[in-house]
Amino acid sequence: MGNLAKALTVAGSDSGGGAGIQADLKTFHQFHVYGMSALTAVTAQNTLGVHGVYPLPAEAVANQMQQVIEDLGVDAMKTGMLFNVEIIEAVAEQIRQHQVKNVVVDPVMIAKGGAKLLLDEAVKAIVEKLLPYTLIVTPNLPEAEHLTGRPIRNVAEMKEAAKAIVAMGAKHVVMKGGHLPADEIVDLLYDGEQFFTFVHQRVNTQHTHGTGCTFSAALTAELAKGSTVYEAMERANRFIIEAIATAPGIGRGHGPTNHWAAIKLSI
Ligand SMILES: Nc1ncnc2c1ncn2[C@@H]1O[C@H](COP(=O)(O)OP(=O)(O)O)[C@@H](O)[C@H]1O
Ligand SMILES: Cc1ncc(COP(=O)(O)O)c(N)n1
């Protein structure tokens, strides 16, 4: 345990356990990384949808971050549902004050059922306050469209959007291509100079609740352990594909992925 890697998630609670803080902590654990959390909001949620959103005061988020960073230490952190401008500003300020490295930002905006997990006016705060501290930002296509204000209909437009997002201050972009209607999914990594594409077959399933959270948590866990961005991307990508392919199939709606999925560490 001497070299135990430690990761922090700053995100909302999904009472259904498939997304949010719960998905992140389960994934950190599966990667043998010590997981810590700063809760931003409570959602009353299950596989059928979001039935209530109860944000916490920004001060409560900042205080949780401060206490774990100053005592336990954070090798990597991720953000998920941040909900409003005040919380985003508080999170950015904690990152700045404590010079937290390896920051992954999953710019969660809308739950699969359509519920707002980020207020409209807060998109600008993600760009202006958070992206300058971000090592990897992981938008899905609708999120990348909101960040850039342009439509994304193919891989060429994904690359253009990735360039625009790096120009906003993030060091790397992982743009997830699951929302393009094709049998092959293309996930894109851009490091400001080169594009790397990760292409895989779509699994035919409705159990994709929390895929974005689980993927970005895996990325964060690998960074906490000292992997390079490329290695972390490759391992997180394999993990999420396996987690979707072996989803337990619970709940009456969009069920969770399998957070016990085998981690394929060999590249
Ligand atoms: N049906 C699927 N089969 C295989 N992989 C998927 C499927 N849906 C999503 N993924 C993968 O899960 C991750 C999240 O994808 P995406 O659906 O684009 O984002 P989000 O969950 O944030 O909406 C990506 O790495 C994507 O390749
Ligand atoms: C608290 C919380 N955070 C994030 C998501 C996004 O989940 P998904 O990956 O299914 O879009 C969610 N549904 N709930």
pLDDT in tens, 15-39: 999 999 999 999 999 999 999 999 9
Choose the catalytic residue: 47, 79, 138, 211. Answer: 211
- The pLDDT score that the predictor gives to residue 267 is 36
Whether 60 maps to a domain, the answer reads yes
Proportion of the chain above pLDDT 90, given as a percent: 96
CA distance 166 to 172: 6
Closest by Cα among 85, 127, 136, 132 to 106: 136
Counted domains in the chain? 1
Whether 177 maps to a domain, the answer reads no
Residues with CB under 6 A from ligand 1: 140, 176-179, 185, 187, 202-203, 205, 208, 211-212, 215, 237, 240-241, 244
CA distance 132 to 170: 6
Characterize 39-63 residue by residue with b for buried, 16 or more Cβ atoms within 10 angstroms of its Cβ, and e for exposed: bbbbbebbbebbeebebbebeebbe
SS3 80: coil
Q: How confident is the model at residue 112 (pLDDT cuts 50, 70, 90)?
A: confident
pLDDT of residue 65 exceeding 50, the answer is yes
pLDDT of residue 80 exceeding 90, the answer is yes
Decide: 240 in ligand 2 pocket, CB within 6 A.
no
Closest by Cα among 19, 198, 200 to 115: 19
Using CA atoms in the order 229, 230, 232, 234, what is the torsion angle rounded to 10 degrees?
Answer: 160
The question of whether 205 is a catalytic residue gets the answer no
Average pLDDT, the chain: 96
SS3 165: helix
Protein residue with its CA nearest to atom 20 in ligand 1? 212
The question of whether 79 is a catalytic residue gets the answer no
Q: How confident is the model at residue 113 (pLDDT cuts 50, 70, 90)?
A: confident
The question of whether 212 is a catalytic residue gets the answer yes
Ligand nearest to the CA of 19: 2
Decide: 112 in ligand 2 pocket, CB within 6 A.
yes
Whether 21 maps to a domain, the answer reads yes
- The pLDDT score that the predictor gives to residue 266 is 42
pLDDT of residue 2 exceeding 70, the answer is no
Q: Read off the pLDDT of each residue in 182-211 and give the average, rounded to a whole number.
A: 97
Whether 185 maps to a domain, the answer reads no
Q: What is the pLDDT of residues 122-138, one digit of tens each?
A: 999 999 999 999 999 99
pLDDT of residue 184 exceeding 60, the answer is yes
pLDDT of residue 170 exceeding 70, the answer is yes
The question of whether 176 is a catalytic residue gets the answer yes
- The pLDDT score that the predictor gives to residue 230 is 98
- The pLDDT score that the predictor gives to residue 263 is 83
The sign of the dihedral angle between the CA atoms of 133, 83, 46, 44 is: positive
Q: Are 7 and 36 in contact (CB under 8 A)?
A: yes
Residue 14 CA, closest ligand 2 atom number: 1
pLDDT of residue 45 exceeding 70, the answer is yes
How far is the centre of ligand 1, averaged over its atoms, from the C-alpha of 240 (Å)? Answer: 8
Proportion of the chain above pLDDT 70, given as a percent: 98
pLDDT of residue 265 exceeding 60, the answer is no
Q: Are 56 and 37 in contact (CB under 8 A)?
A: no
How far is the centre of ligand 1, averaged over its atoms, from the C-alpha of 135 (Å)? Answer: 21
CA distance 80 to 126: 11
- The pLDDT score that the predictor gives to residue 1 is 63
Whether 176 maps to a domain, the answer reads no
- Domain span at residue 12 reads 6-136+209-245
CATH number at residue 113: 3.40.1190.20
Choose the catalytic residue: 210, 220, 225, 255. Answer: 210
Q: Read off the pLDDT of each residue in 250-265 and give the average, rounded to a whole number.
A: 91
Q: Read off the pLDDT of each residue in 38-67 and give the average, rounded to a whole number.
A: 98
The question of whether 73 is a catalytic residue gets the answer no
Whether 261 maps to a domain, the answer reads no
Structure tokens at 173: 């972009």
Residue 212 CA, closest ligand 2 atom number: 9
Whether 106 maps to a domain, the answer reads yes
The question of whether 264 is a catalytic residue gets the answer no
pLDDT of residue 5 exceeding 60, the answer is yes
Q: Read off the pLDDT of each residue in 159-165 and give the average, rounded to a whole number.
A: 98
Complex ipTM value: 0.97
Whether 49 maps to a domain, the answer reads yes
